Chains A and B, each alone.
Chain A
Amino acid sequence: QLQLQESGPGLVKPSETLSLTCTVSGGSVSRNSYYWGWMRQPPGKGLEWIGHISYGGSTYYNPSLKSRATVFVDTAKNQFSLRLSPVTAADTAVYYCVRLIMTGTNFDPWGQGTLVTVSS
């Protein structure tokens, strides 16, 4: 059974870089049928798509993030990662990694999520 697990710092200073990694177990990031992506949810608010990447390296990002986000994959470690820079308090959220099917809306599974707080 495929499982995803986020990891990374829980506290980031304003203007610095948020870096998170998603470790994939029970499956491979090298499968061509899927994208690997990131979503986030500010405390008490709704869900927002950040971006996703294919095994071949094609990337897609939410335009609202204005090029601050980068998603990349490490096939050797069976992981994919998110970098968001520079951050502000508005980037405080629970960040989720998720597998996206290439065609359609079958986005599953999701990681359990990790809270990142942006504060000095």
Chain B
Amino acid sequence: EIVLTQSPATLSLSPGERATLSCRASQSVSSYLAWYQQKPGQAPRLLIYDASNRATGIPARFSGSGSGTDFTLTISSLEPEDFAVYYCQQRSNSITFGQGTRLEIK
């Protein structure tokens, strides 16, 4: 099973700041990596698929990069509605999720 490790576990930032979230895979997943945002009581929302493609309706401030084992989700300038939990997910070998990064208001 491919293990995805997200860091940091919690990220404390202010609106307007840049957020950088990391996801590292235990073995190469090529570009088969996605990022989700989840708010309390809601289903996960797909942000980025295939490492760097924004899903339909996702604002341009969200971007994804990386390939192989190291991936990054960047939010260029945080809006109040961006504070949530973020998960990465791979589909290269079976399907697994990272443990999540909580993005909280500083």
Contacts and interface: CB of A to CB of B under 8 A. Distances in A.
Given A47-B44, A111-B43, A106 B97 contact: no
Interface in B41-66: 42-46, 49-50, 53, 55-56
Interface residues of B, number: 26
B32 A46 contact: no
Interface string A19-50: 00000000000000000000000000011110
A49 B44 contact: no
B99 interface: yes
Interface of A: 46-49, 62-63, 96, 104-108, 110-113
Contacts of B42: 112
Interface stretch (B13-21, B74-82, B88-96): B88-96
